[in-house]
Amino acid sequence: MNERTVLPPNPVALRLGYAGLIPFVLGTILTWLVRDEAHVYAVRGLTNYAAVIVSFLGAIHWGLAFRQSIPSPSPYVWGVVPSLVAWVASMMQPDAGLVVHGVMLIVCYLVDRRLYPAMGAGAWLTLRFRLSAVAALCCFLAAQATLF
């Protein structure tokens, strides 16, 4: 298999990808509904989960780069950036950190939209768009909930 081989979305991966939105949606709902004493836990849980997912999106580039016959350093460098940004965002105040996570989800998608086709993963972009849009929206809505 070379780097141009198109990888169609696996049905199990599709289901698991959508299931991965559950913590985003549930976490966002909880940030708006729970009492003050539980609010910090809902926000922290969502922030930590967003950091894990943003880090995962960067790590995918390492996996794709491993498939290249002549590896470029670019996927490895980019693959580390999301986790470093997510780490910093996790230490910020939740209203700002969640916005950074939301922006990073969008940035990761935009980078993937540019790089995935050349790495044989272009067929995954529809799923990536859907998951990133919902996850980013959840981060933005939850950030708003921390202001009240």
Q: Tell me the per-residue pLDDT of 78-130, one tens digit each, with 9 for 90 and over.
A: 999 999 999 999 999 999 999 999 999 999 999 999 999 988 899 999 999 99
The residue written with tokens 């969008």 in the block is 106
Q: Which residues contact 34 (CB under 8 A, 6 or more apart)?
A: 41, 42
d(CA 127, CA 85): 23
33 compared with 148, residue with greater pLDDT: 33
Chain Cα centroid distance, residue 122: 17
Written as six digits, the tokens of 38 are 């539980």
Supply the DSSP symbol for 107: H
Average of per-residue pLDDT across 47-76: 92
Q: Which of 87, 127, 122, 124 is nearest to 104 (CA)?
A: 87
Written as six digits, the tokens of 39 are 């609010």
- pTM strictly above 0.85: yes
d(CA 90, CA 28): 16
Written as six digits, the tokens of 107 are 């940035």
> What count of other Cβ atoms lies within 10 Å of the Cβ of residue 51?
23
